[in-house]
Structure 1
Amino acid sequence: MDSGRTTEPAPAEYLTMADIQNIWGAFGAKLPLILPTLVALLVVLLVQNVWSRRPLANIPVVGEELGGDQKRRQAYLSRAADLYLEGYKKFKDSVFRIVTPNKFTVVVVPPKYLRELRKLPDDVVSFDGAIEQSMHAKYTGILTGQSMIPHTIKTSLTPALVRLNPSIAEEVQHSIRQELPSCDDWTPVNINRKLLRIVALVSGRVFIGTELSRSEEYLDAAINYTVELMEARRALDAVRPWLRPLLGNRLPEVRRLNARIAQADRFLRPIVRARQQMREGDAPDDMLQWLLGSQDQFKQYTTEELARMQLGLTFAAIHTTTLTTTNVFYNLAAYPQYIPELRDEIRTVLAEHGGVFTSAALQAMKKVDSFLKETMRFTPAGAVSFQRKVTKSFTLSNGQVIPEGVVIEVPAAAASHDPDVFPDADKFDPWRFSRLREQARAAGEVEASALNQFVSVSPNILTFGFGRHACPGRFFAANEIKMIVANFVLNYDMALPEGVHERYKNLSFGSSSVPDPTKELLFKRIV
């Protein structure tokens, strides 16, 4: 054997019991030296963990007395509006937390901070991030971050309303004639069901053009896509987050939603091809054409992506417009004493504008406008608005840190029922906003007068949102709703069914509030 060769250490598997005892003995001898370091490291980790959670720990939670997050989640499902109202009253000038069934942290911010919140950039508070998280965009396929849609609505649809209003009015009148029974005597009508089709027909005329807007295939997709999207969302909510990558796309509700998107792609594809081959002067004047024309500024989309955009428009417009209009009709039937005054205004204004629903005529219907805005105030579509995902921590002007990763919301319903903002807030006052407009105008306060219009956004009425992501389609929706309501008021008397003595109560699902879609009203033609 070569005596100069270095002896290799024995492999670990050949360590003897004596070797192991020697190692432990050496470690034990040095433990007093190592222990302070280990303790210091543990303290640092604990401090870091506590510090990272400190901003959230300092935010009070509503429902503390319920005794646990699971009970708070159950309470949210049954009475979310009460929880938001409780937090709004108790922590009016500061933020608070709400525990939701979605299992992500929600921080509720009072409306007084909206003007500073709207100045924050999208890489701090993300509108799309909140939608992606709450709607499970990865699995539902709902499009986010598509700036072409709001751009096209703002630059093409809204300016086009002046020239489109006559065709919109024509479609409103056609759809009412088609959908409503004769009503020669008092006739029960499920107005929500009828309005779904009326709004789908009218919106379709503007969104997708006459090639498809009256086809049953399009109407079926436009009406049912939102229902199927919400069913898929609820199914995904019920799946634990770590299981969603495995099960998400296999859920029956998600598969049904994907089939709906594929169906829309099939019937839209030939329309898109035909539009692309048209000469510029022959192209229709509708949203689909404007989107096609905007692609050079953004990017070229496939027909499947365009189908998703159209379905997204129906999600944003048809059901929300229907819900708002149904609420209006429930108020008209519950308070029929206001109908003659509305009817007189509509007749007078139309007579002054040649019997045509022009933009000027719609703007002149101030009592109609007030009735609609008071309906939104009195029965908002949900308890909250202005949802944003916080992607970078920020600090409010009161020093409160809002940590990264939470979703922020504003308690819209509580704010709209605040008696300090709206006197007699729990009373339905149809001329509330027309009076406020007149008072502001008399005082020379033009901006204050404008803020009390139906389409205006403010920290007190948040149905259309607030800031740069406020609903861009609200001007079209306002015209559509006004035309539908005006046509009904001109041609029909309305009432609650016999034995019903007060307005139908809205149904609550978590933070959402919707008019009961099963109820009927009585209609009788007057002309």
Structure 2
Amino acid sequence: MADVAGLPHILGEKLYLVLPTIVALLALIIVPRVFAKDPLKHIPDVGQELGSDEKRRQAFLMDSRHLYQEGYQKFKDGVFKLLTTRTTTPVVVVAPRYLNELKKLPDDVLSFDAAIAETMHVKYTQIEPGNKSIPHAIKTSLTPSLPRLSPPLTDEARESFNMEMPPCDNWTPVNINRILLRVVAMVSGRIFIGPDLCRSEEYLDAAINYTIEVMMARGEVDAMPAWKRPFLARSLPAVKRLEARIKQAHAFMQPVVEARKRLPADQKPDDMLQWLMESQQKFGDDNSVEKLARLQLGLSFAAIHTTTMTATNAFYNLAAYPHLIPILRDEIVSVLSEHNGEMSAPALQAMKKLDSFLKETLRFHPPGTGSFSRKVLKPFNLSSGEYIPKGVVIEVPAHAIARDPEVFVNPDEFDGLRFYNIRQEAREKGEAEAAAQNQFVSVSQSSLTFGYGRHACPGRFLAANEIKMIVATAVMMFDMKLEDGAEGRYANFEFGGTSAPDPSKTLRFKRFAQ
């Protein structure tokens, strides 16, 4: 005890020996930062008038759309930067005119995976960007199989929708978002994990709640100042719930995967889980149950979160603009009569008005303010001369572009037949490429919801088919409207660059008398 009691005295005597070393170390750390030249100084800021960096980040958290819009209007053909809650450095926002040159840069210069890692806080959400098995399985197995798999997917959409919806013999309030979460999970699960498990409550619980918990964890980390995250983020309630969910999914998947490994070749299931197992072997990746469970959760997150949001937005729009319902219904009836009553892949492709309505829903209610998110791993210059340094994340202001009157006529008006009319006019002029560029799944410099370039969402073809099946099924079965007293279409929630339909709202449904 005496030795301990005398410790402060001893340290005091020796302090003069170590103090110069401490000062020198602090100088090495601090001085370069103070006098370092800001590599982004030449790029104009948006939101500086808001004050401190923390105030600017909080402004992004609550109203990012306004900041992107302001920057786009001021620097429409150029570059600007703003502080977000997702990255520790400013995000550099570039005009769409640079997209063609940006998409040609290799992944070791502009990294899609590194941007996802940073903006999704993968250290805490445990999402795994960069896995080659998923895009390979989607591109080589899933998408080519869609024509063959459309009938069972249509059956799943119809049966699950029937199963989840109340009778609605009279006008009945329905929380459509809650129902769509389960319907989308079942339809997606039909192709992800097979017919035997896609309706399992254990699977549905994992698939649906993992999606919600990832976004909640990301939101809680977003709201925490960046300097606190290494110390406190892992203790956030949403992050802890997410860790428990991953363990639960592993326990659920283990017997499924082990059983499949024992099956003979001629009995292998025809679904995404099997394709992933084979893809993992092709790339020599870890084929453990834990890894496959994480990949399945990743698929559920990517598919269920975005597909449900888009479908919910579509239903809210149908209820807000009910004149569109008979127009879409007439088209669906006509197309099905020409395709033996089957909602096949060609039939879905022929529903051009439905396609237009869904594309307009994406234009008017995109899931986020930015798109084409990439982290800069090596510095480069844009063709206009702007220097983009290593370490920043770049984006394109997708929402602002979608509301630009120079890009779209009356952009603040929801027009469900906007893209149908554009396609019709293009065909009349013999402009086949222009017609193709205005389909729901198409990506262009004015339609960036699915990304752009070689990393455009590979699963968008499945998502498009699912949403069309679900919406077409509902339109054939029900009329719908907003709740009595509702003043216009329900507003979306916007938080930290993300826009989502309000999941608490109800619509009124009544069975359509055919």
TM-score by shorter chain over 0.5: yes
Residue 160 of structure 1 corresponds to 145
Alignment of 1:160-199 (within 5 A): 160-199=145-184
Give CA deviations for 1:137-165 in whole Å, capped at 9, x if unaligned: 22322111101101110110000001100
Residue 472 of structure 2 corresponds to 486
Residue 6 of structure 1 corresponds to none
Alignment of 1:294-309 (within 5 A): 294-299=279-284, 300-309=286-295
Partner of 1:387, secondary structure, is: strand
| Among 26, 41, 61, the residue aligned to 1:57 | 41
Distance of 1:437 and 1:526 partners within structure 2: 30
| Among 262, 266, 273, the residue aligned to 1:281 | 266
Tell me how far 1:107 sits from its aligned partner: 0.6
| Among 307, 321, 324, the residue aligned to 2:310 | 324
Q: Quick check: 1:351 aligned with 2:334?
A: no
Alignment of 1:18-167 (within 5 A): 53-102=37-86, 103-167=88-152
Q: Which runs of 4+ in 1 moved over 6 A?
A: 45-52
Residue 319 of structure 2 corresponds to 333
| Residue type of the alignment partner of 2:153 | I
| Residue type of the alignment partner of 1:464 | F
Residue 385 of structure 2 corresponds to 399
Residue 204 of structure 1 corresponds to 189
Distance of 2:30 and 2:194 partners within structure 1: 61
| Residue type of the alignment partner of 2:362 | M
TM-score computed with the length of structure 1 as normaliser = 0.88
Residue 462 of structure 2 corresponds to 476
Distance of 1:245 and 1:167 partners within structure 2: 46
Taking a change above 3 Å as real, the CA distance of residues 129 and 54 of structure 1, as seen in their structure-2 partners, is same
Tell me how far 1:296 sits from its aligned partner: 2.5
Taking a change above 3 Å as real, the CA distance of residues 240 and 431 of structure 1, as seen in their structure-2 partners, is closer
Tell me how far 1:323 sits from its aligned partner: 0.4
Alignment of 1:251-266 (within 5 A): 251-266=236-251
Distance of 1:162 and 1:51 partners within structure 2: 61
Residue 218 of structure 2 corresponds to 233
Residue 14 of structure 1 corresponds to none
8 Å CA contact retained: 2:61, 2:223: no
TM-score computed with the length of structure 2 as normaliser = 0.91
Residue 19 of structure 1 corresponds to none
Distance of 1:461 and 1:391 partners within structure 2: 26
Residue 23 of structure 2 corresponds to none
Taking a change above 3 Å as real, the CA distance of residues 49 and 271 of structure 1, as seen in their structure-2 partners, is closer
Residue 370 of structure 2 corresponds to 384
Partner of 1:415, secondary structure, is: helix
| Residue type of the alignment partner of 1:399 | G
| Residue type of the alignment partner of 1:74 | Q
Partner of 2:282, secondary structure, is: coil
Distance of 1:386 and 1:397 partners within structure 2: 18
Taking a change above 3 Å as real, the CA distance of residues 447 and 491 of structure 1, as seen in their structure-2 partners, is same
Give CA deviations for 1:28-66 in whole Å, capped at 9, x if unaligned: xxxxxxxxxxxxxxxxx9999799644401111111222
Tell me how far 1:360 sits from its aligned partner: 0.7
Partner of 1:463, secondary structure, is: coil
Distance of 2:355 and 2:455 partners within structure 1: 23
| Residue type of the alignment partner of 2:502 | D
Tell me how far 1:247 sits from its aligned partner: 4.3
Residue ranges of structure 2 left out of the alignment (5+ in a row) = 1-28
Residue 20 of structure 2 corresponds to none
Partner of 2:84, secondary structure, is: coil
Distance of 2:446 and 2:418 partners within structure 1: 14
Partner of 1:464, secondary structure, is: coil
Distance of 1:90 and 1:244 partners within structure 2: 33
Alignment of 1:265-276 (within 5 A): 265-276=250-261
Tell me how far 1:168 sits from its aligned partner: 0.2
Tell me how far 1:231 sits from its aligned partner: 2.6
Task: Quote the RMSD (CA, aligned, Å).
Answer: 1.9
Tell me how far 1:249 sits from its aligned partner: 3.9
Tell me how far 1:461 sits from its aligned partner: 1.1
Aligned residues: 483
Tell me how far 1:233 sits from its aligned partner: 2.5
Tell me how far 1:91 sits from its aligned partner: 0.6
